[in-house]
Amino acid sequence: MAVVIGALVLLLSGCGGNEAGPKVARPAGDPGPDALPIKLNALTVDDCFLSPSLQIPKGCEKYVTELGGTVNTLRDRATTSKDPKLNDEADGLSKAVAAYRSNSCDTVTASGNGPCKDALVDIAGTLAVIKANVLKQGTTG
């Protein structure tokens, strides 16, 4: 009996914190405000930007999510470039993204008129202004 208990103790003591398996990688993080022009170029070739009034709102969910995450990067760029106008544009983008979300546009499966179409059109218009201003600035570093 003592041998069995001793074997169990040894077996259980080997199951500590050194488990085998892949390690979870940390996210790369925000590349910063200087990468913003690249991201804006990528977002402005999306169909949700190019023809927002024709899109099925649910299909633009990833695009809108990306833009929602871009707001803070835009605010960082406003600080580093000392351009307060970018903060106003970030506010406009944030409001348009909020309109998309508050109207549950990520569940709308038909294109047409209404608040979701309006939100997508507002997002695209605001994004066009932001892109023009950011590209005009060049890099901040």
CA distance 40 to 33: 11
Query: Each residue of 26-71: pLDDT tens digit?
Result: 444 455 556 788 999 999 999 999 999 999 999 999 999 999 989 9
Query: Cα–Cα distances in Å, from 40 out to 10, 11, 29, 60, 101?
Result: 58, 56, 17, 16, 21
**Which pTM value belongs to this model?**
0.73
Burial class (CB in 10 A: 0-12, 13-18, 19+), 105: buried
Query: Each residue of 73-124: pLDDT tens digit?
Result: 899 888 888 888 889 999 999 999 999 999 999 999 999 889 999 999 999 9
Domain ranges of the chain: 31-137
Among residues 66, 58, 4, the alpha carbon closest in space to that of 36 is found at 66
Residue 127 is predicted with a pLDDT of: 97
Query: What's 25's DSSP letter?
Result: P
